Structure 1
Amino acid sequence: MAKKRYLFLLPLIPLPPLPLYTPTIHHSLKQKTSTANQPQTAKSRTIAVRLVSMALTGYYKTLMRPRIHRPLSMLKYDPVVRKKVLFLEQKRGGK
């Protein structure tokens, strides 16, 4: 047998009027400002670069070089092939 459902109509109660002023928002509840308005931090003068062996042995050397210099390329000893080979710069993968 189906249950009987009762619907009660409540009388409408008038709401109090809204205040004419806007309450102040606490500083912790304010929206966060975007990072575009904040000053940026200075870049480092040096960057870490990886010199990869052109003998394709997978051997590499990691060096720090000034940011303003051109990319490094130099002859260095590769212990895998036991010879001096050309090493070319490959930037280190960062963020």
Structure 2
Amino acid sequence: MGLMRLSSSIYILKCFSRFCNRKYHWDVPKGHLAVYVGEEQKRRFVVPMSYLEQPLFQNLLRQLEEKFGFDHPMGGITLSCQEDMFNQLTTILHCL
């Protein structure tokens, strides 16, 4: 189980490093990443990279990957979920 988390985290970090090589990474503070959230229209959030280590965030990423796959056409991680759900999750993670 720990190995699965590690491989998922490594995959996410690889995607993030590809994002860093794009021209628009300058507006994301160091230690953060851009995440595009929404089912139809995508809204951009900048979240701490430490969220990638949180089981709740990893679980969200895993569920969305299984359902939709990962698609990053906007230069950041794209999550096809409701903004309200994402806001609730980030509020919880911020308090941890």
Whichever structure has more strand as a proportion of its residues is 1
- Which structure shows the higher helix fraction? 2
TM-score scaled to structure 1, two decimals?
A: 0.20
Higher relative contact order (CA 8 A, sep 6+): 2
The TM-score with structure 2 as length reference comes to 0.20
